[in-house]
């Protein structure tokens, strides 16, 4: 057995202590300093390096760099290390413009050029399709109008052409894009603070500005905090369960400039509520709705079950393209409206609509994709398991005068077969599932329905790859995937895939 690297540590029994690295016969141990090449980046945005073949994840390191690191923790297959010094820098490395970037956990990629982020997100999609989906990927040959297999990545399956993964569709101005701010509130000796949780913790980093938030959201949060301090409002304490104000949620319509404030409170009663509302109305004239959400549970979930309007309207409005949406306090609405239009535009393009098709939108939410598709389809059916979302979807269809759209509450895998029994046949099925991907029964339902096309909108490349494999085995060929950068400077990537029936 190898001798402990520290040599002198002993256990109570008097026997020499043995490090986990020695027990596992690893090439490095905790506190070792080594120089490694960073060969990639994982889905959390950590650099991936190798020390004598052993994988180390390094926060802040970029692919193509050589770095001196200190080992923090070792496991059997991999470990974690701290970046000490860059021996060689990546050409994609830039200085992060946000002053609290190193503390805040909201963004992970500000130290990487935007062009580098877009290429990495495309590669993340490619890697998942190949590694998890065991699917063959091709890419366009530069300037030749031809395609070729990704270097060394032909997995030997029977795809005739393989999947073309397009370059990531990014933003011309990738800052100040978020229309919703959800700010946790805490307290210090100076009173209320609000910002974001520090990386890997629930310690609140106070901030006055966030470079990915709309400027007016920053202004509203700052004013609400100041008003709360003046009125002596207490902040919720996660450990004790005491205190009132848990979160301040701000929503803005990019097209309409209408704003909503939601005060998430640990209890029904808000002291000085009239003074709060008067001050908000006086100082923030763009605000047309002030709501309260009550959440008394000990949980990290932001919203509770009870929401009421304290002043103003129940909803604000915004547009995606020509489609108008009503957004309530609890509505799910994409946070980047500019890129949402890009994402939905690609969805419509992949659906290949001529105006004669019947489309089913599974996981339809408040009807955003459904109504976008309805501009180009003969009939659209939307299904969603959340009752309140379907109520919003129906209201949004009425708001836009779209009478050829129907929505139903329920699980897609239950509702769609019932539609089929009623004689409803879909030319195109669109799915936009949560991060866990499609329910296996929904995939079975799609294979039974046999639409000519399936368009898959994904927020998670790994579950996208898994589900595309299932659909391939059931007789569908993924033709093309386009990543869309909905969340610049973070590790998240959305994708749209189009599948055709073989």
From CA 65, how far away is CA 355, in angstroms rounded?
51
The CATH number given to whatever domain includes residue 277 is: 2.40.50.1070
For CA atoms 411, 414, 415, 420, give the dihedral sign: positive
Query: Which domain covers residue 46, as residue numbers?
Result: 28-88
| Cβ–Cβ < 8 Å for 437, 412 | no
The reported pTM is: 0.89
Q: Among 320, 355, 386, identify where a domain stops.
A: 320
State how many domains the chain has.
Answer: 3
Q: Are residues 375 and 360 in the same domain?
A: yes
> 166 pairs with which residues across the strands?
none
pLDDT, tens digit, 9 for 90 and up, residues 107-117: 999 999 999 99
Q: In DSSP terms, which residues pair with 93 in a beta bridge?
A: 112
For residue 370, being part of any structural domain is answered with yes
Catalytic residue status for 459: yes
At which of 66, 88, 110 does a domain end?
88
Within a domain: 325 = no
In a domain, 328, yes or no: no
One domain, residues 242 and 131: no
Same domain, yes or no: 76 and 197:
no
**Which member of 107, 210, 291, 459 is catalytic?**
459
The verdict on 364 and 468 lying in the same domain is yes
DSSP H or E segment with residue 229:
helix 215-231
Same domain, 170 and 188: no
CATH at 117: 3.40.50.150
25 is in an annotated binding site: no
DSSP-derived secondary structure for 392-428: HHHHHHHHTT--SEEEEES-HHHHHHHHHHTT---SE
Does residue 381 share a domain with residue 313?
Answer: no
Residues 37 and 111 placed together within one structural domain of the fold: no
Point out the residues of the chain with pLDDT beneath 70: 1-23, 139-160, 189-190
Looking at the structure, tell me whether residues 294 and 210 fall in a common domain: yes
How many H helices and E strands in the chain?
Answer: 10, 24
DSSP 200: T
Same domain, 313 and 387: no
Is residue 153 part of an annotated ligand binding site?
Answer: no
Q: pLDDT value at position 146?
A: 46
| Domain contains 1 | no
Which of the listed residues 88, 114, 129 is the one where a domain comes to its end? 88
Q: Is residue 21 part of a domain?
A: no
Domain membership flag for residue 152: no
Contacts of 407 (CB under 8 A, 6+ apart): 364, 367, 370, 381, 382, 383, 384, 390, 393, 394, 397
CA distance 53 to 117: 26
Same domain for 382 and 443, yes or no, is: yes
- Does the residue 438 lie in any domain? yes
DSSP three-state, residue 19: coil
Q: Assign residue 68 the CATH number of its domain.
A: 2.40.50.140
In 3-state terms, what secondary structure has residue 110?
Answer: coil
Is residue 153 situated within a structural domain?
no
pLDDT at 63: 97
| 280 in the same domain as 172 | no
Would you say 119 is a known binding-site residue? no
101 assigned ligand-binding residue: no
Do 276 and 420 belong together in one domain? no
Angstrom CA distances, 272 to 114, 229, 269, 431, stand at 45, 12, 9, 46
Token match 């959400």: residue? Answer: 293
Express each pLDDT in 366-422 by its tens digit. 999 999 999 999 999 999 999 999 999 999 999 999 999 999 999 999 999 999 999
pLDDT digits (tens, 9 = 90+) for 280-292: 999 999 999 999 9
Phi/psi class of residue 321: alpha, beta or left (left: φ > 0; alpha: ψ in -120 to 50)? left
């Amino acid at each position: 057995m190898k001798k402990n690297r520290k040599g002198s540590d002993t256990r109570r029994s008097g026997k020499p202590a043995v490090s986990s690295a020695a027990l596992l016969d690893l090439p490095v141990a905790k506190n070792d300093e080594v120089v490694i090449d960073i060969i990639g980046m994982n889905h959390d945005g950590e650099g991936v390096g190798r020390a004598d073949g052993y994988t180390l994840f390094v926060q802040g390191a970029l692919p193509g760099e050589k770095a001196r690191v200190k080992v923090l923790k070792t496991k059997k297959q991999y470990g974690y290390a701290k970046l000490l010094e860059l021996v060689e820098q990546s050409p994609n490395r830039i200085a992060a413009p946000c002053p609290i970037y190193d503390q805040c956990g909201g963004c992970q990629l500000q130290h990487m050029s935007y062009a580098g982020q877009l290429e990495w997100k495309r590669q993340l999609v490619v890697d998942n399709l190949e590694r998890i989906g065991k699917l063959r990927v091709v890419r366009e040959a530069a300037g030749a109008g031809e395609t070729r297999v990704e270097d060394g990545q032909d997995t030997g399956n029977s795809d005739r052409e393989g999947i073309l993964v397009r370059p990531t569709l990014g933003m011309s101005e990738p800052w100040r894009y978020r229309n919703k701010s959800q700010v946790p509130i805490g307290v210090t000796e100076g009173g209320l603070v609000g910002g974001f949780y520090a990386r890997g913790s629930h310690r609140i980093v106070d901030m006055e500005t966030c470079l990915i938030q709309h400027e007016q959201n920053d202004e509203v949060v700052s004013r609400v905090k100041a008003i709360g301090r003046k009125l002596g409002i207490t902040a919720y304490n996660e450990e004790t369960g005491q205190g009132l104000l848990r979160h301040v949620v701000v929503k803005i319509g990019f097209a309409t400039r209408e704003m909503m404030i939601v005060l998430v409170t640990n209890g029904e009663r808000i002291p000085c509520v009239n003074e709060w509302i008067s001050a908000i109305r006086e100082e923030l004239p763009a605000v047309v709705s002030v709501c309260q959400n009550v959440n008394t549970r000990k949980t990290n979930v932001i919203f509770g079950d009870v929401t009421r309007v304290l002043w103003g309207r129940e909803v604000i409005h915004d547009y995606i393209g020509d489609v108008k949406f009503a957004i309530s306090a609890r509505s799910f609405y994409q946070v980047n409206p500019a890129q949402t239009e890009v994402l939905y535009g690609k969805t419509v393009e992949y659906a290949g609509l001529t105006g004669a098709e019947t489309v089913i939108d599974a996981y339809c939410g408040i009807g955003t994709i459904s109504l976008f598709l309805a501009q180009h389809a003969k009939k659209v059916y939307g299904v969603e398991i959340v009752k309140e979302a379907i109520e919003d979807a129906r209201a949004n269809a009425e708001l836009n005068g779209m009478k050829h759209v129907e929505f139903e509450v329920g699980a897609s895998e239950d509702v769609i077969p019932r539609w089929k029994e009623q004689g409803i046949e879909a030319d195109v099925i669109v799915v936009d599932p949560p991060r866990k991907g499609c329910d296996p029964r929904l995939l079975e339902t799609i294979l039974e329905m046999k639409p000519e096309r399936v368009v898959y909108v994904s927020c998670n490349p790994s579950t996208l790859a898994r589900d595309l494999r299932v659909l391939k085995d059931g007789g569908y060929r993924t033709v093309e995937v386009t990543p869309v950068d909905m969340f610049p400077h973070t590790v998240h990537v959305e994708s749209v895939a189009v599948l055709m029936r073989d």
